[in-house]
């Protein structure tokens, strides 16, 4: 069965209440669990509390426009929280808030409710912290979730259903949603075969199914799989943090800069010329399942619903490979938040 068909089945089952879909047989699961126990002896992990980066960014723009700050929310697991770094400005939330403020020339207020160790079943609680009738909803929410669902063997259908419910609630509140899909767990350096292959297969399958579901609800996705895969494998000492599992400051910056164009685009802040598909970069309109599978294998790839929602093979989507410039060419080092950051 093709990867696109499997991803489509998972997303469809999640939407209509179907049962779990297993990618591995009983023998493979037993082998996987044995490898996991061995890997845990060499993968450090971290119990450090991520630095709090909540607050206002781009305060230099406050007196230029007179507009209220844009509201940016972060939800998800330890990667969304920024575990593995020690400065607030190095977390992905702070990096994206600073980049968004620079592009919009407007202050940005960041609220991060992500929880280290969270699985998709924690998203309902996190969304409830943001969707409060007493305060305006976020303008845009970024969700990074899925790695713990794979490592703790949550059925992929359940994982996608829970993510879909969170996206649906945020969209109903008027919030734009960008999902950084499940990273490539086969890139964790001390993990060896066959666990590496199995982890890569499962995480990419989940990323593709997440994409199909999110796009169908009006959100956009950015693949982190390949971005945090071969690049991390090639430069593990630079892109992984001291615990050999979470990204380093440079790793978070690489991921954040890949997501920045999409976050800006959903708010109408990205140049229109860059919104048109460029065939030279392999961009274009594809059936949503095919676009999801291609995106899962190439980091920094955005998938969004096509203007024409349906074609001969079902829903279609626009696949874009956003240009990623070297970090030195991006925005300067982000300023620290002036409200609550440490």
Active site positions, annotated: 78, 243, 246
The C-alpha atoms of residue 169 and residue 121 are separated, in whole angstroms, by 14
Question: How many beta carbons lie within 10 A of that of residue 289, not counting itself?
Answer: 26
CB 154 within 8 A of CB 204: no
Cis status, amide bond into 334, omega within 30 of 0: no
Angle between helices 156-172 and 3-16 (to 10 degrees): 60
| H or E element in which residue 317 lies | strand 314-321
Which positions ≥6 away from 229 have C-beta within 8 Å?
A: 183, 184, 186, 187, 200, 299
The C-alpha atoms of residue 111 and residue 291 are separated, in whole angstroms, by 31
The C-alpha atoms of residue 269 and residue 140 are separated, in whole angstroms, by 12
Q: Which long-range contacts (CB under 8 A, 24 or more apart) does 236-243 make?
A: 236/189, 240/189, 241/46, 241/84, 241/85, 242/44, 242/46, 242/84, 243/43, 243/44, 243/45, 243/46, 243/84
CA-closest candidate to residue 232, choices 224, 162, 277, 168 = 224
DSSP-derived pairing of the beta strands 314-321 and 301-311: antiparallel
């Amino acid at each position: 069965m093709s990867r696109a068909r499997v991803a489509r089945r998972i997303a469809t089952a999640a939407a209509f209440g179907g049962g779990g879909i297993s990618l591995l047989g009983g023998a493979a699961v037993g082998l996987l669990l044995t490898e996991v126990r061995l890997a845990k002896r060499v993968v450090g992990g971290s119990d450090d509390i991520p630095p709090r980066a909540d607050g206002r960014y781009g305060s230099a723009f406050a007196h230029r426009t007179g507009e209220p700050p844009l509201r940016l929310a972060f939800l998800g697991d330890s990667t969304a929280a920024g575990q593995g770094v020690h400065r607030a400005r190095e977390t992905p939330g702070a990096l994206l808030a600073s980049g968004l403020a620079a592009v919009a020339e407007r202050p940005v207020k960041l609220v991060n409710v992500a929880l280290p160790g969270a699985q998709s079943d924690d998203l309902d609680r996190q969304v409830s912290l943001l969707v409060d009738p007493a305060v305006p909803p976020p303008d845009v929410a970024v969700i990074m979730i899925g790695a713990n669902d794979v490592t703790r063997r949550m059925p992929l259908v359940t994982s996608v259903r829970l993510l879909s419910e969170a996206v649906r609630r945020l969209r109903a509140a008027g919030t734009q949603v960008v999902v950084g899909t499940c990273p490539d767990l086969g890139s964790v350096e001390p993990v060896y075969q066959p666990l590496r292959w199995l982890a890569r297969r499962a995480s990419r399958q989940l990323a593709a199914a997440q994409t199909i579901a999110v796009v169908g609800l009006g959100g956009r996705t950015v693949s982190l799989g390949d971005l945090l895969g071969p690049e991390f494998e090639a430069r593990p000492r630079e892109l992984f943090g001291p615990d050999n599992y979470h990204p380093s400051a440079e790793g978070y910056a690489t991921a954040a800069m890949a997501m920045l164009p999409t976050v800006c685009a959903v708010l109408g802040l990205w140049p229109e010329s860059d919104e048109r598909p460029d065939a030279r970069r392999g961009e274009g309109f594809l059936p949503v399942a095919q676009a999801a599978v291609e995106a899962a294998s190439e980091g920094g790839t955005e998938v969004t619903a096509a203007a024409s929602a349906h074609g001969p093979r079902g829903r279609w989507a626009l696949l874009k490979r956003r240009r990623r410039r070297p970090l030195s060419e991006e925005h300067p080092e982000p300023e620290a938040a002036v409200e609550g950051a440490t």
